[in-house]
Amino acid sequence: MQGIETDAVADAELSDPVLVEGLPGVGQVGKLAAEHLLEEHADATLVRRVHAEHFPPQVLVDEDGTTRLAAATVHAVETDGRDLLVLTGDHQAGDGPGHYRLAGTFLDIAAEFGVTDVYALGGVPTGELVEEYAVLGAVSAPELRDPLEAADVEFRSEEPAGGIVGTSGLLLGLGGRRGFDCRCLMGETSGYLVDPRSARAVLETLEDLLEFELGYDSLDDRAEEMEEVMEKLHEMEGGAGVQPDDDLRYIG
Amino acid sequence: MQGIETDAVADAELSDPVLVEGLPGVGQVGKLAAEHLLEEHADATLVRRVHAEHFPPQVLVDEDGTTRLAAATVHAVETDGRDLLVLTGDHQAGDGPGHYRLAGTFLDIAAEFGVTDVYALGGVPTGELVEEYAVLGAVSAPELRDPLEAADVEFRSEEPAGGIVGTSGLLLGLGGRRGFDCRCLMGETSGYLVDPRSARAVLETLEDLLEFELGYDSLDDRAEEMEEVMEKLHEMEGGAGVQPDDDLRYIG
Amino acid sequence: MQGIETDAVADAELSDPVLVEGLPGVGQVGKLAAEHLLEEHADATLVRRVHAEHFPPQVLVDEDGTTRLAAATVHAVETDGRDLLVLTGDHQAGDGPGHYRLAGTFLDIAAEFGVTDVYALGGVPTGELVEEYAVLGAVSAPELRDPLEAADVEFRSEEPAGGIVGTSGLLLGLGGRRGFDCRCLMGETSGYLVDPRSARAVLETLEDLLEFELGYDSLDDRAEEMEEVMEKLHEMEGGAGVQPDDDLRYIG
Amino acid sequence: MQGIETDAVADAELSDPVLVEGLPGVGQVGKLAAEHLLEEHADATLVRRVHAEHFPPQVLVDEDGTTRLAAATVHAVETDGRDLLVLTGDHQAGDGPGHYRLAGTFLDIAAEFGVTDVYALGGVPTGELVEEYAVLGAVSAPELRDPLEAADVEFRSEEPAGGIVGTSGLLLGLGGRRGFDCRCLMGETSGYLVDPRSARAVLETLEDLLEFELGYDSLDDRAEEMEEVMEKLHEMEGGAGVQPDDDLRYIG
C-alpha cells in the first residue's frame, strides 16, 4: 500500500452534518470524547475507514485474536440535535507531511458529506491537577468566536502558547483555508493521565453548541476507575492507612 | 534505483501455494524458521528478489568477497504437504512508509503465484527465559482461529499488547484487507537472544497445519551452539567450576 | 494538503525589486530584520503566502484566538530606494528535501516579480557577547563581493566554517545556479539570545547597499527590553545590589 | 529544486573509461584518493555536477567568500594508463532512499560515458593504529577477484563484517545488478583520523590495476602534516620532553 487509501464502507444521508474530530493526543481527551459520542449512539454507522502509510506499520490484536490495521474511522451519527460525522482513530500520523496529507483527506471526506462546520476536540495540558475543567477555544475565523464564548468556552490571548499540534491544528489551519468554519475545543487536563472528566467537559460544551443531549454514565465509570487506580498508586507510595488527599480525587 | 524493484528470477508451477514469511525480528525466530524451511528443501527455487530504497543503503560481503545488495527473497518450495512460497530477507524496511509499500509488494507477488493463505512467522518476547515454547496466534479474520487452536496455537485476548509490528503485522493487516486469509504464528522467546528452539516450535506448528514434515538436525545443532556459548558466558560471569543452572539450558 | 502551495494573495507592480529574506535562525537576526522592514513600511502588501507539508504540522493561535497555519510570506515593499520583496515566516523547513523545495519555490516567486538580486539576512554565532556588531558576507559570485566590502561587510576566508545552513544558504546556492545575484549578510551575534542589535547592524548595511532609509525606534525598544530582562536575570543570579557588568549590557 | 539534478558541465571523449569513486567516509580515504587523482592530473575536466535534495541543505563558503552548493562532481581524467571518470563530492546522501537514488544517478552518468568497470575507493576501520596499510577488496562478481588478488588486494571471508555502507556499497550492489564489473578497494585505517597514507595505499593498488602512474608528493605532505599535529597533541598530553612513540608515527 502506498499513500493514503479511503475505504467507502457505507453511505449515509445526513442533513448539514458537523465534523467532530477526536484523535489520540494530550490526556486522550479528544479520542475519549469521540469514542463516547459513538458509544452513546448505538446506530452510528461506520462510513469511511482511512488507512495510510503515515500510520505506524503495525496491526492491533483484538480480544478474539483478530488483527486490525491502524486506521482512522469516520462514523455518521444522527443526534437529537445536528447530525455528526465523527472522526477518530488509533494514531496520529507518524511524520510531518503525513499529518498534512491526512488532514487533507479528512477534509475531503467532510466535504463529500456536505460538512461546512468542523469541531476539533482535544486536551490542553496544565501541568497540574485540574479541579475545574475549563474548556479553551480557538477558531479559524474571528466571527466564530462569539457563539463559543456564549457557551462558556474561554479564549486566552495566544494560548495554547505552543500552538495546536497535529490533526486538530491542521483541520483548523487547512480547513479555514478551504472555507470550512472550524473550532477547536480543548479541555484542560493535567497532561499526565488519560482524562475522562476533561472529555466530559468538552462534550458538554459540544452538546450546548450543537443542541443534542448525551448520557455520561460510561464516561463517569471510566473516570472513577482512573481515580481508583490513582488512589491505589497513592496508597502504595504514601504508606498504608493514608487517605488520598483532595488534590488527587479529580485526577481522572 | 528508486522505490521498489522486483526481479523475476525464475518461474515456478505451484498448486495453491501458501505464503510463509520469516523476516528479521524478535529472537530472529521468523528468519530462522524461513531459512530452515529452505535448507530442508534442497530443490527450493529462488523465484523473486526484491530490492528497495527502503532497505539500508549497504551491501553484505559474502564468504568469497562478493557483495550482495540488501534484498528480500521469495523461494518456491514443494513440500510433501502444501506448496510454499517462502519469503525471507536481510532486513525489514527502515522507514514506516517503506514497511507499507514492501508489504504491498510481497502481497502482489503472492497474488501472482495464486496464494490465498498467508502465514507470518515471528517471535513474541516474554522478557524471561522460556522453558515451554508456546506459539501464540493472531488471524486476519475470526473464522481462521479454530484450525489454529486445534494445532495448539494459543490465543490470548489483546496479545501481544503492543500489536504486531513490521512486515508480519502488515501482511495480516493489508492482506486481510485484500482478501487473503492470514495468520501470524509467534513463538515465545526471551527477546534477548537468537532463538532456534522457538523457531522449531513455530515450524512444528506449521508442519501440523500444512501437513508436511521437516527434519530439525541443523536447527537443533544451532540451538546447541547457542547454548554452549551461553554456558561459557555464564561460567565467565559466575566463576570457574560453576555448573550452568537449569534455567539457562534452554535459552537457545 | 500535499507538497507546497503558494497562495497569490495580491499583485504588485514593482520596478526591479530585490528579494530580502529573513527567516527564523541564529539569534532570530534575519527574522527580526525582515519583520522590522515590514513594520517600518506601513504600506507593505502581502503578495504571496506559502504553505507546505514541510513546515511543522501545527497552527499558531493569535491574540484573538484565531488560528494561523504555519506559513512563509512575501510582501511587496516600496522604499525610498529600491523596491523590495520581503520574505519571512514562522519556520524553516523541517526536513532536508523540504529546504531544497521551499527555496526553489521562493526563487520561483522572486522570478515572477522580476527579481534578479537576492539578499539573505541572518546571524552568525560568535559564542560570546558581541560589542561591535560586524556584518559578515558571502556571495554567489565573486564579482558581487566588492560592493559589499565598500559597505563595510567583512569577508573572512572560508567563514562561517560550517557553511550557511537552511534557506539563506540554499537561496545563494540554488539562486546562484539559476542566475540570480545573491548575497548573504550575517550579523554577528552571541548565538544564545534573540538579538535586535545584530538585526539593526544588518539592516543598516542593507540601507547602505539599497539606498533606502529606515527608522529604528521599535527595534531599539526591543533591544532595550531584552537588555532589561538580561539585567534582571543577572541580578537574580548575582545577588541583590549587584550592578550588571559591562559585558552584559549589549547582549540584546 | 526537487529530486536530483545533473548539470552537464562539459563533454569528454574517453576510451573505455573506468569509474573511480571516492566520497567522504571512514578516514576520508576515498575522498582523499579521488582528490589526489584530480590534483595529479592538471588537465582533468569537470564533466558533470550533481545536486540533490538528499544532500544537506547548506552551502559551503570558499576562500573568496563565494558559496558553493553541496554537490558531487565527475571529472574526466586521461592517465598514461586507462581513462578515468573520477567521482567525488562534499557529502554522502543524508537519507536512505537518497543513497539509492544518487547511486543510480552516478551509474547513469557512468553508462553515458561508456563505463563498464567501476572502482569504489574507501577505508575500512581497524580500531587501532595501522602500520602496514593493507588494502581489502570486495567485488560484484566472483570472476573479478583474481586480478585483485594478483595486485595484493586481500579478501577476508565476510569482511568488512558490517558490509559496505553508503555510495561505495551501493555502486557495487546496484552496479553489479546492472551489469557493471565493480570492485571496492578499502584501505585499512584506524578510523579515528583523516588518513592520507591509507589513501596512498589504495591509489598504489589502483595504479597497479589500471596501469597508470602517480606522484605522491602532495599526499605525503598531507600525511606528514597530520603526523606533526598528532605529535604535538601527544606532547601536550604526555608532558614536555616526551618523545612521540613509534606507535603514533604512522597514524596519518
Calculate the alpha carbon distances from A164 to A145, A155, A160, D10 in Å: 17, 14, 7, 51
B-interface mutation test, from D26, D170, D178, most B Cβ less than 10 A away? D170
Say yes or no for a CB contact (<8 Å) between B174 and A1. yes
Q: Chains meeting D at 3+ CB pairs closer than 8 A?
A: B, C
* Strand D181-189 to D117-125 pairing: parallel
Nearest to B58 among D155, D156, D165 (CB): D165
Inside any domain, residue D224? no
pLDDT bucket at A247, cuts 50 / 70 / 90? very low
In the block, cell 487547512 appears at A174
How many beta carbons lie within 10 A of that of residue A54, not counting itself? Answer: 24
Residues 6+ apart with CB under 8 A from C190: C27, C125, C126, C127, C128, C129, C130, C251
B66/D160 CB distance under 8 A: no
Query: Which residues of D lie inside 8 Å of C (Cβ-Cβ)?
Result: 1-2, 51, 53-70, 94-95
User: How high is the mean pLDDT of chain A?
Assistant: 92
Residues spanned by the domain of C21: 4-215
Question: Is there contact between B and C if contact means ≥3 C-beta pairs under 8 Å?
Answer: no
Q: With a cut of 50, say whether residue A54 has pLDDT above it.
A: yes
In chain B, residues with a C-beta closer than 8 Å to the C-beta of D97 are 2, 53-54, 95
Ordered per-residue pLDDT tens for chain B, 252 residues: 999 999 999 999 999 999 999 999 999 999 999 999 999 999 999 999 999 999 999 999 999 999 999 999 999 999 988 999 999 999 999 999 999 999 999 999 999 999 999 999 999 999 998 999 999 999 999 999 999 999 999 999 888 988 999 999 999 999 999 999 999 999 999 998 999 999 999 999 999 999 999 999 999 999 999 889 888 887 887 654 434 343 333 333
Question: What was the pLDDT predicted at D5?
Answer: 97
3-state SS, residue A116 = coil
pLDDT at B45: 98
Which residues of B lie inside 8 Å of A (Cβ-Cβ)? 93, 96-97, 99-101, 103-104, 137-142, 145, 155-160, 162-166, 169-170, 172-174, 176-177, 182, 184
Under DSSP, the state recorded for D144 is G
First to last CA, chain D: 39
Kindly report the CATH number assigned to the domain that includes residue B19.
3.40.50.10900
* Cβ neighbours of residue D86 closer than 8 Å, sequence gap 6 or more: D20, D22, D34, D37, D38, D44, D74, D75, D77
Distance, in Å, from the CA atom of A79 to the CA atom of A40, rounded to the nearest integer, reads: 10
> Of A54, A92, A100, A118, which to mutate for an interface test with C (greatest number of C Cβ within 10 Å)?
A100
Q: Chain C: which residues have CB within 8 Å of chain D? A: 93, 96-97, 99-101, 103-104, 137-142, 145, 155-160, 162-166, 169-170, 172-174, 176-177, 182, 184
ipTM of the complex: 0.89
Chain D: closest CA distance from residue C162 (Å): 7
Report strand pairing: B117-125 vs B18-21: parallel
Neighbours of B204 (CB within 10 A): 17
What is the C-alpha separation between D224 and D233, in angstroms, rounded? 14
Residue A190 pLDDT greater than 70, yes or no: yes
Chains B and A touch (3+ CB pairs under 8 A): yes
Placement of cell 599526499 in the chain: D219
Residue D248 has pLDDT above 60, yes or no: no
Sheet of B164-165, strand order:
A67-69, A58-61, B164-165
Residue B241 covered by a domain: no
Closest CB to B163 among A53, A54, A60? A60
Q: Is the pTM of this model over 0.95?
A: no
pLDDT tens profile D30-68: 999 999 999 999 999 999 999 999 999 999 999 999 999
> What is the edge-to-edge ordering of all strands in the sheet holding D58-61?
C164-165, D58-61, D67-69
Question: Is C107 within the bounds of a domain?
Answer: yes
* D1 chain-C contacts, CB cut-off 8 A: 100-101, 103-104, 174
User: Is the four-CA dihedral A108, A110, A116, A117 of positive or negative sign?
Assistant: negative
- Cβ of A59 within 8 Å of Cβ of B103? The answer is no
Q: Which three cell numbers stand for residue B239?
A: 566463576
Distance from CA of D208 to the nearest CA of B (A): 20
pLDDT, tens digit, 9 for 90 and up, residues D7-18: 999 999 999 999
Whether chains A and C touch (3+ CB pairs under 8 A) is answered by yes
Tell me the per-residue pLDDT of C163-189, one tens digit each, with 9 for 90 and over: 999 999 999 999 999 999 999 999 999
For D252, counting Cβ atoms within 10 Å of its Cβ (0-12 exposed, 13-18 middle, 19+ buried), the class is: buried
Strand order through the sheet with B58-61: B67-69, B58-61, D164-165
Predicted confidence (pLDDT) at residue C244 exceeds the cutoff of 80: no
β-strands C84-89, C18-21 pairing: parallel
Q: How close, in Å, is residue D170 to chain B by CA atoms?
A: 6
Contact B52, B4 (CB under 8 A): yes
CB-CB neighbours of C225 under 10 Å: 13
Q: What is the DSSP letter of A244?
A: P
* Distance separating alpha carbons of residues B224 and B229, to the nearest angstrom: 9
Contacts of B56 in chain D (CB under 8 A): 96, 165
Task: Report pLDDT for C238.
Answer: 64
**Residues B49, B71 contacting (CB under 8 angstroms):** yes
State the best of C91, C100, C107 to mutate against chain D, taking most chain D CBs within 10 Å: C100
Task: Confirm whether A48 is domain-assigned.
Answer: yes
Give yes or no for residue A248 having a pLDDT over 90.
no
Distance CA A137, CA A25 (A): 16
Question: How many angstroms separate the Cα of D224 from the Cα of each of A197, B225, C182, C183, D213?
Answer: 72, 49, 39, 38, 22
Q: What is the pLDDT of residues A55-72, one digit of tens each?
A: 999 999 999 999 999 999
How does pLDDT run across D124-182, given as a tens digit for each residue? Answer: 999 998 999 999 999 999 999 999 999 999 999 888 988 999 999 999 999 999 999 99
* DSSP letters for C135-169: EEEEESSGGGHHHHHHTT-B--TT-STT-EESHHH
Is residue B234 situated within a structural domain?
no
Residue B223 host element (H or E) = helix B217-238
Distance between D60 CA and the closest CA of chain C, angstroms: 4
- Cβ atoms of D67 and C176 within 8 Å: the answer is yes
The closest CB to that of B63, out of D104, D158, D184, belongs to D158
Number of domains chain A contains: 1
Please, where are the H alpha helices in A57-124?
Answer: 96-112
Residues in chain D whose Cβ is within 8 Å of chain B = 93, 96-97, 99-101, 103-104, 137-142, 145, 155-160, 162-166, 169-170, 172-174, 176-177, 182, 184
pLDDT at C247 over 80: no
Q: Rounded to a whole number, what is the distance in Å from the CA of D10 to chain B's nearest CA?
A: 25
DSSP three-state, residue B141: coil
Which residue among C7, C60, C64 places its CB closest to the CB of A142?
Answer: C64
Q: Where are the alpha helices (DSSP H) in C82-216?
A: 96-112, 145-150, 167-177, 196-210
Model confidence pLDDT, tens digit, residues C80-121: 889 999 999 999 999 999 999 999 999 999 999 999 999 999
Calculate what percentage of chain C has a pLDDT beyond 90.
84
Assigned domain for D248 exists: no
The per-residue pLDDT of chain C, averaged, comes to: 92
**CB within 8 Å: C142 and D66:** yes
List, in sequence order, every residue forming a beta bridge with C136; answer none if it has no partner.
C154, C186
**Residue C23 with chain D: CB contacts under 8 Å:** none
Q: How many CB pairs under 8 A join A and C?
A: 95
Q: Do D96 and B54 touch (CB under 8 A)?
A: yes
Residue D246 belongs to a domain? no
- Residue in A7, A59, A94 closest to B172 by CB: A59
Distance CA B22, CA B195 (A): 13
pLDDT surpassing 80 at residue D251: no
Residue C81 lies in a domain: yes
